[in-house]
Amino acid sequence: MNQTHDDGILKVRGLRKVYGEGSKAVEAIGHLEFTIRAGEFVCIVGPSGAGKTTFLRCLSGLLKPTEGTVILEGREVTEPPADMAVVLQEYSRSLYPWMTVAANIELPLKAVGLTKTKRKKRVTEALHSVGLSDSGKSYPWQLSGGMQQRVAIARAIAYRPRVLVMDEPFAAVDAQTRADLEDLIRNLRSELGITVLFVTHDIDESVYLGERVLILSSAPTCVLKEVKTNLPAERSQLITRALPEFASLRTEVYETIQYAKGVNYYTAQPQPENENRDEGRDKVAT
């Protein structure tokens, strides 16, 4: 992989998010700190209620963190960055039902200001690479769930981001479709050479897809553990999942998550990744 960037394309530094004020304050993120190198495929898993959505909204510039920064390509994220595309779990809500599939994919390209010919070309390419060449004129609601999520992915890759962020994108599709989509996203990643940050609650999925898996604690969230997968770059649903390394990685992640359900930023054992946390901070009720 192209690990030429010394200090990473995406850096999260001391991120903390508290909702509300005073006695009713709820701390969603305690302290998040990690770095992703260019071209990497990183999965994030955590127990339910780990503040993953809050974290992603901070990361994508939709929500202002209480403390800390997100740095994308050396610049602090204060608004949705141009080099990032986000694919959400709720495909039926993120695609606009009043537009055809092709128009949905084209819309962000209009916002960038591409000419019409360039837009059409990119839409065609993107639809082709997700295997939906014939569906451009359909409306999203005429397609199955899996196909709608392919459209959302096509919209993201047509945008040509450097970082692709995915929030439990396959949680709402059936198992067979899910396996197809997992392979699709692996292939697209190696074709386009983009960086992928993939949030999921599925342990197998995180091990299968990622080169590195970050395991989060319960809220207030921190990174509990980082697992390098070291699986072969070429992955296959049948072969990779049958590897003994896969099974042991799976167990490792599983055990950490079971442990994570009971701990948060304030009660977790110190990990190498987040030693420099600020112990003097006021503790807020979880």
Partner 1 sequence: MKRLGAWAFFTFAVPVVLIIAWTIASETSDTIYFPSPIAILAVFPDTWFSGAISGDIFPSLSRLAAGFGLALIAGVGVGTLVGMLKPLRLLLEPIFELFRAVPPPVLVPIIMLVAGIGDGMKIAVIAFGCVWPILINTVAGVRGIDEVQLDTAASYRFSGRLRFVSVILPAATPQIVAGARQSLAIGIIMMVISEMFAATNGLGFNIIQFQRLFLIPEMWSGIILLGLLGVGLNAVFKIIENRLLTWHVGLHAAEK
Partner 2 sequence: MAGYPVSRPFTLGLSADHRAAPLIYGVTGLLLLATVLQVLPTVGVLDSRYFPPLTEILTSLSSQLSSADFWSALGSTVSGWLLGLTIAVIIGGVGGILIASFRILDRLLSSTVEFLRPIPSVALVPVAALLFGTSMEATLLLVVFASTWQVLVQVIYGVRDVDKVALETARTYRLGTVRTIRSVMLPSLMPYLIIGVRLAAAVALILQITGELIIGTPGLGRLISVAQSSAAVPTMYALVLVSAFLGVLINSGMRMAEGKVLFWHASIRGDQK
- Specify whether the CB–CB gap between 97 and 140 falls below 8 A: yes
Q: Which range in 25-33, 95-103, 203-211, 242-250 contacts partner 1 by CB under 8 A?
A: 95-103
Cβ at position 53, least distance to partner 2 in Å = 15
Using CB under 8 A as the binding rule, the residues of this chain from 199 to 238 that contact partner 1 are none
Among 2, 133, 142, 258, indicate the residue that binds partner 1 (CB under 8 A). Answer: 142
Q: Which partner in partner 2, partner 1, none is near 78 (CB below 5 to 8 A by kind)?
A: partner 2
b/e map 59-78, b = 16+ CB within 10 Å: bbbebebeebebbbbeeebe
Closest to partner 1 by CB, 68 or 108? 108
Tell me how many helices (H) and strands (E) the chain has: 9, 10
- Specify whether the CB–CB gap between 268 and 46 falls below 8 A: no
Q: How many residues in the chain?
A: 286
Residue 248 within binding range of partner 2, rule CB under 8 A:
no
Specify the amino acid at residue 186: R
Q: Which partner in partner 1, partner 2, none is near 2 (CB below 5 to 8 A by kind)?
A: none
Look at strands 84-87 and 163-167 and give their pairing: parallel
Cβ at position 91, least distance to partner 1 in Å = 10
Spatial CB neighbours of 12, under 8 Å, sequence gap ≥ 6: 32, 33, 34, 35, 59, 68, 69, 70, 71
Q: Which range in 56-64, 85-93, 123-131, 223-231 contacts partner 2 by CB under 8 A?
A: 56-64
Using CB under 8 A as the binding rule, the residues of this chain from 159 to 188 that contact partner 1 are 159
Q: Which range in 74-82, 191-199, 217-225, 270-278 contacts partner 1 by CB under 8 A?
A: 74-82
Work out the end-to-end distance of the chain between its first and last CA atoms, rounded to an integer number of angstroms.
40
Closest to partner 2 by CB, 58 or 214? 58
Residue 93 within binding range of partner 2, rule CB under 8 A:
no
Alpha helices, H only, 130-263: 145-158, 175-192, 203-209, 237-242, 244-260
CA angle 152, 211, 253 (to 5 degrees): 100
Q: Which range in 55-63, 89-97, 139-147, 173-181 contacts partner 2 by CB under 8 A?
A: 55-63
Among 1, 82, 243, 247, indicate the residue that binds partner 1 (CB under 8 A). Answer: 82
Judged by the rule CB under 8 A, the positions of this chain that interact with partner 1 are 57, 60-62, 79-80, 82, 84-86, 88, 90, 93-94, 96-99, 107-108, 110-111, 139, 141-142, 159
Judged by the rule CB under 8 A, the positions of this chain that interact with partner 2 are 61-64, 78-80
